[in-house]
């Protein structure tokens, strides 16, 4: 028998090795612990289960941090890519925007015409990404997974939409509100 006091968490670990009947060992240990520590709660855990559960929790916590880091990096890279795509589209269609403005088109109509291409691509990405995420979640191992709800998808779609809206707005409004006097 080994008694280890963990001062940091305020808990005490008691390790018992026994041969024979597990129930007899539990009743003996329970009666002895109630005599020694009458007001302290205790629980039994099989060592192999407790060891693997503690290791699994630490592993999944590190995996969670790693996934969060790579999610942020992916979001930044995709924002830069979207920024470049919009910049390319605006540069390619600058003369068209100038002609539309000369013909009396409003800033909103120019914005809508330039953003429909990107909105279509984002819609396609959402249509492909959501079922793929559900499939990956369903095939992922784990007995204690948190349930997957619609709110996670709605929040992620809203983040993507806001990110795209800000990126599109920067370039399109910059060109749509300029004088475009440099066009030939």
In this predicted model, what pLDDT tens digit does every residue of 104-140 receive, in sequence order?
A: 888 888 888 888 888 888 899 999 999 998 898 888 7
- What is the value of pTM for the model shown? 0.57
Q: What is the pLDDT of residue 8?
A: 46
Say if CB 143 and CB 62 are below 8 A apart.
no
Give backbone dihedrals phi and psi of 92, rounded to 5 degrees, phi first: -70, -35
Q: How many other C-beta atoms can be found within 10 angstroms of the C-beta atom of residue 138?
A: 9
Cα separation, 57 vs 30, whole angstroms: 28
Say if CB 71 and CB 79 are below 8 A apart.
no
Angle between helix 94-102 and helix 47-92 axes, rounded to 10 deg: 60
Say if CB 97 and CB 114 are below 8 A apart.
yes
């Amino acid at each position: 028998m080994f008694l280890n006091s963990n001062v940091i968490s305020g808990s005490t670990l008691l390790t018992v090795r026994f041969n024979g009947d597990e129930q007899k060992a539990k009743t003996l240990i329970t009666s002895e612990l109630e005599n020694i520590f009458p007001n302290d709660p205790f629980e039994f855990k099989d060592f192999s289960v407790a060891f693997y559960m503690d290791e699994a929790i630490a592993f999944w916590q590190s995996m969670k941090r790693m996934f969060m880091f790579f999610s942020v990096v992916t979001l930044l890279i995709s924002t830069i890519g979207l920024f470049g795509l919009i910049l390319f589209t605006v540069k390619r269609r600058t003369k068209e925007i100038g002609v539309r403005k000369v013909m009396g088109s409003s800033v909103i109509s120019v914005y809508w015409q330039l953003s429909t291409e990107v909105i279509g691509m984002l819609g396609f990405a959402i249509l492909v990404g959501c079922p793929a995420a559900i499939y990956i979640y369903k095939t992922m191992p784990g007995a204690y997974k948190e349930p997957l709800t619609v709110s996670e998808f709605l929040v992620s779609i809203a983040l993507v939409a806001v990110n795209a809206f800000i990126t599109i707005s920067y370039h399109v409004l910059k060109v749509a509100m300029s004088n475009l006097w440099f066009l030939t």
